[in-house]
């Protein structure tokens, strides 16, 4: 699903965010991406979602080399990636239903179809009945689930989450993670960036560890604080 070959990212100010990173996330696989703050987790996800371009190296997304993709093609590629952010990135002046339906609106679905599928996506994340609320009136956990509903509404084959539990208490965090687990069970590939090792430890998944832009570990974390 995602293949990185010697991928480096150096920002404009000569900040090396990723240094020759190699890894392969197989289709249908779920993995964690961890490391200290500033180790390059967000940068890695941004390279996949084409918010940043690699300085060197090759990135293949489901068989397509995206290292040199044209700017005009980026929107269409993003439609096949569900993205979840720590700060949710919801539109505060739109209802939950409108937020969730955004990816379908963009693709030109009918109003009826958008509503039907948005309601069904909200049901999947356990937010039935909140469709007409505005995000500002929801709790952090609820807002995050609106973000997840939006990310999965057009059933992307890949889900990227950047610190999805960053602002949530441990119980809510686990709930969100089990949501990812069940999405993964239905075949979605999932890559979750988090620095919450306690959370990772509770679940037995492959974990990619970054330190100062280098991939220092790939596999199950055996102990806490391994990085």
Partner 1 sequence: MSINMEGNKKLSGSPRINKVSLIGRIKSSLGQHTRQLTASFTELWKTPFATVMTILVLGIALSLPTVFHVLYKNVERVSGQWDSASEISLFLKKDISEERVQVLINKLSLYKDIETVTYISRHQALEEFKEMSGFSKALNYLDENPLPAVLVVIPVKSAMNTAGSKLLVAKLEREQDIDLVRVDIDWIEKLQAIFYLVVDIVIGIAALLLLSVLLIVSNTIRLNILNQRSEIEVLKLVGATNSFIQLPYIYIGAWYGFLGGLIAWLFTFILVLWLQSGVMSLTGVYQVQFEIISLNFQESATLLGVGALLGFIASFISVKQYLVKIEPK
Contact yes or no for 58/5 (Cβ under 8 A): yes
Closest residue by Cα to residue 124 from 192, 200, 193, 178: 178
CB atoms inside a 10 Å sphere around CB 3: 17
Closer to partner 1 by Cβ: residue 61 or 221:
61
Q: Using CB distances below 5 to 8 A depending on partner kind, what does residue 178 bind out of partner 1, ligand ADP, Mg ion, none?
A: partner 1
CA 219/CA 206 separation, integer angstroms: 5
Question: Minimum CB separation from ligand ADP for residue 44, in Å?
Answer: 7
CB of 13 to ligand ADP, least distance (A): 5
* Rounded distance between C-alpha atoms, residue 22 and residue 223, angstroms: 23
What pairing do the DSSP bridges indicate for beta strands 64-65 and 56-61?
antiparallel
Alpha-carbon distances, residue 90 vs 34, 107, 211 (angstroms): 25, 18, 31
Task: Pick one of partner 1, ligand ADP, Mg ion, none as the site partner of residue 149 (Cβ within 5 to 8 A by kind).
Answer: none
Residues 21-80 that bind ligand ADP (CB under 6 A): 35, 37-43
With vertex at residue 168, the alpha carbon angle to CA 164 and CA 173, rounded to the nearest 5 degrees, is 65
CA dist., res. 216 & res. 206, Å (int): 13
Q: Pattern 4-43, binding to partner 1, x per CB under 8 A?
A: -----------------------x----------------
The distance of closest approach from Cβ of residue 72 to ligand ADP in the complex, given in angstroms and rounded to an integer, is: 23
Total site size for Mg ion, rule CB under 5 A: 1
> In the range 44-63, which residues lie near partner 1 by CB under 8 A?
49, 51, 61-63
Answer yes or no whether residue 182 interacts with partner 1 by CB under 8 A: yes
Residue ranges binding partner 1 (CB under 8 A): 27, 49, 51, 61-64, 72-73, 75-81, 83, 89-91, 93, 102-103, 106-108, 120, 124-126, 150, 155-158, 175, 178-179, 182-183, 185-188
């Amino acid at each position: 699903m995602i293949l990185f070959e010697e991928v480096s990212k150096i920002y404009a100010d000569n900040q090396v965010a990723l240094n020759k990173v190699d890894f392969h996330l197989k289709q249908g696989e779920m993995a964690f991406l961890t490391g200290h703050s500033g180790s390059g987790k967000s940068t890695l996800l941004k390279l996949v979602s084409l918010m940043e371009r690699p300085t060197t190296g090759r990135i293949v997304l489901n068989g397509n080399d995206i290292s040199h993709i044209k700017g005009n093609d980026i929107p269409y590629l993003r439609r096949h990636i569900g993205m979840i952010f720590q700060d949710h990135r919801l539109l505060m002046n739109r209802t939950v239903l409108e937020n969730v339906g955004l990816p379908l609106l963009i693709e030109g679905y009918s109003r009826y179809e958008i509503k039907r599928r948005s309601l069904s996506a909200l049901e999947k994340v356990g937010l039935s009945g909140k469709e007409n609320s505005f995000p500002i009136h929801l709790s952090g956990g609820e807002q995050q689930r609106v973000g997840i509903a939006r990310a999965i509404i057009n059933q992307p084959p890949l889900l990227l989450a950047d610190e999805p539990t960053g602002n949530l208490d441990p119980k809510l965090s686990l709930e969100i993670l089990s949501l990812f687990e069940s999405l993964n069970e239905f075949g979605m590939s999932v890559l979750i960036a988090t620095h919450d090792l306690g959370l990772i430890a509770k679940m037995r998944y492959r974990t990619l560890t970054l330190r100062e832009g280098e991939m220092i570990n790939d596999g199950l974390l055996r102990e806490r604080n391994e990085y």
